[in-house]
Amino acid sequence: MASGTIAIAQPPGTAPGNVLVASLSLNGASVSSAPTGWVTIAAVENIANPHLYSYYRVAAPGEPATYTWTLSAAATSSGGIARYSGVNNANPLDTPANISSSALDVPSLAVPAVTTVSPGAMLVGAAAINSSNTSVLMTSPAGMTERWDLGGKRQDYSDALQPAVGNSGDKTWTFSAPRAAAAWLGALKPQ
């Protein structure tokens, strides 16, 4: 159902100092405002549909039960929040995120590698496709663990520990049917 906002529940077990990573997929609309304290990781809005956004936040005492993003227009959307412990609270990002998109229908989408600077960085990323149909399957990149696969506006979020400093290698999401797609890949810095 189309809405002008998207509300995402706080992950269970969230404690002060945890780093929360949100990923939102929108049916053509854009994010006009994020909840207080959320910092943009990536915004993929260079194609008409889908638009894909990611944010992080360091959890503090008294976190709300839900976080609400305001959209530029009513849109079908999906979103999730992942919770991580052991992340550097002063500077959670180990490296800037890379993005990729295709306005053409494609069977897969690769995001260029990020180069981590800290041993034990956590790779995080997501892909979205121009579909709301959950029968169009999305497969996470090799070596990454899927954390969610959402309907609404189709989105797959994955992560993976990268023990050594250096190039992560390109990460490719694959789709069971060709679709326009957007994706982002970043890394979290350990404490």
Under the banding of pLDDT at 50, 70 and 90, the label for residue 101 is: very high
Q: Give the separation between CA 17 and CA 84, rounded to whole angstroms.
A: 9
Amino acid identity at 50 = P
- Collapsing DSSP to helix, strand or coil, 2 comes out as coil
pLDDT for res 130: 97
pLDDT for res 1: 77
Tell me the two tokens of residue 184.
């982002």
Alpha helices in the chain (DSSP H): none
Give tens-digit pLDDT for 21-50: 999 999 999 999 999 999 999 999 999 999
Structural contact between residues 168 and 115, judged by C-beta atoms closer than 8 angstroms: yes
Q: How many domains does the chain have?
A: 1
- Collapsing DSSP to helix, strand or coil, 14 comes out as coil
Spatial neighbors of 183 by CB under 8 A, at least 6 apart, are 44, 52, 99, 100, 101, 109, 111, 125, 126, 127, 128, 171, 173
Residue 133 has pLDDT above 90, yes or no: no
Give tens-digit pLDDT for 3-18: 999 999 999 999 999 9
pTM score above 0.75 = yes
What is the mean pLDDT of the segment spanning 85-99?
98
pLDDT for res 55: 98
What is the mean pLDDT of the segment spanning 73-92?
97
What percent of the chain lies above the pLDDT cut of 90? 97
Q: Which domain holds residue 141?
A: 3-188
- In sequence order, the β-bridge partners of residue 145 are 159
Q: Give the separation between CA 133 and CA 155, rounded to whole angstroms.
A: 11
Residue 174 has pLDDT above 80, yes or no: yes
Under the banding of pLDDT at 50, 70 and 90, the label for residue 139 is: very high
- How high is the mean pLDDT of the chain? 97
For 128, how many CA atoms within 13 A lie in the half-sphere containing its CB? 33
- In sequence order, the β-bridge partners of residue 138 are 175
Q: Give the separation between CA 166 and CA 15, rounded to whole angstroms.
A: 30
